[in-house]
Structure 1
């Protein structure tokens, strides 16, 4: 699984501590001192790797989102095409992302953290997801289950679609309308992906 590399031992413990702090008080109220105390390391240890909380939270988001994506895509199986695996993985990944407590906390308390990755530039997690999608598309091209297209264009287009469902779905749902629930939209996402990926 893709992961963040750290310059010292205990990097995962620091990210775990950062996650706990953010879930408790949000990003703006989290300090490196709080994280260091919770992780059991010195502040200088953190400052050598992360100059500020936003950089640390960026690495935390990368770790969490990549883990979701990797775990969402089913392993290869004789009775499943690559297209089916990819569609299942992308739909399940969107559902898992939307249910993730870190995503909920950031959207509710510090949504501006996500704007640069939607409007200005790709983040490390988006690049990692593109690599994962591109590799799976290549398998689908090879077994004939996925429509052939330039792999970079196809992967980026898929990421744009699933990213919009993951980030903006709650602006379109209606809790009192059974036809406009999360589940209904995820089924529609499945249909969109199936149709665009079918040869």
Structure 2
């Protein structure tokens, strides 16, 4: 599996700050979070924050990169004997969608500050998306090598897969109108599994 490289946290000091901004966002949302609040929770001065982050949105951007990459890498299943790269990729993606949708920070942003995600859906790729594409491309190349994934341009395939998975992650609740949304979500994830299998199988 291709390793993901990122510098969103940059060390334990920055992790302390990102932990603080996460706590603030979970408590009051992004719009009501201030650098003063973050500095107080992290026990650092505001000038310490300003030297690295000019505003709360840049802080939250680094936080999202750290959290989303952790979700994605945590969803990668352990390789079992006889398991193909396609099996691992499909299982990892389903697990990741489920984990994203249960993640407290993701749910808070989606509920309170959804406009924060719009640039990464409509205008540009963010650091976490680039890292996810790197991970996907590596997995697809492994699938090409073991014959479990249809041949194709790995970067283009990775982008196509991310578009599919991203739509299920961000928009699934707009399509679940049953009485039991959790049961409906699992039904849609079974559909996603079928889509991915048909997309990737040679």
Q: Into which bin does the TM-score normalised by the smaller protein fall?
A: over 0.9
Separation (CA, whole Å) in 2 of partners of 1:115 and 1:184: 26
Q: CA deviation at 1:152?
A: 1.0
Give the alignment's TM-score, normalised by structure 2: 0.94
Separation (CA, whole Å) in 1 of partners of 2:179 and 2:37: 41
Separation (CA, whole Å) in 2 of partners of 1:87 and 1:45: 42
Q: CA deviation at 1:160?
A: 0.1
Give the alignment's TM-score, normalised by structure 1: 0.95
Alpha carbons 2:8, 2:66 under 8 Å: kept? no
| Cα distance, 1:55–1:64 mapped onto 2, change above 3 Å | same
Q: CA deviation at 1:5?
A: 4.6
Q: 1:14 aligns with which of 9, 17, 23?
A: 17
Q: Map Cα deviations across residues 136-173 of structure 1 (whole Å, 9 max, x no partner).
A: 11111111111111111100000000000000000001
- RMSD of the alignment, in Å? 1.7
* Equivalent residue, structure 1, for 2:40: 37
Separation (CA, whole Å) in 2 of partners of 1:51 and 1:132: 30
Alpha carbons 1:7, 1:49 under 8 Å: kept? no
Separation (CA, whole Å) in 2 of partners of 1:42 and 1:177: 46
Q: CA deviation at 1:74?
A: 1.1
* Equivalent residue, structure 1, for 2:194: 191
Alpha carbons 1:19, 1:102 under 8 Å: kept? yes
1:102 aligns with 2:114: no
Unaligned runs of 5+ in 2: none
Unaligned runs of 5+ in 1: none
Q: 2:166 aligns with which of 156, 159, 163?
A: 163
Alpha carbons 2:86, 2:148 under 8 Å: kept? yes
| Cα distance, 1:47–1:76 mapped onto 2, change above 3 Å | same
1:111 aligns with 2:106: no
Aligned residues between the structures: 199
Q: Which one scores higher on RCO, CA 8 angstroms, separation ≥ 6?
A: 2
Separation (CA, whole Å) in 1 of partners of 2:27 and 2:145: 46
Write out aligned runs for 1:30-109 (5 A).
Answer: 30-109=33-112
Alpha carbons 1:74, 1:88 under 8 Å: kept? yes
Secondary structure of the residue that 2:117 maps to in structure 1?
A: helix
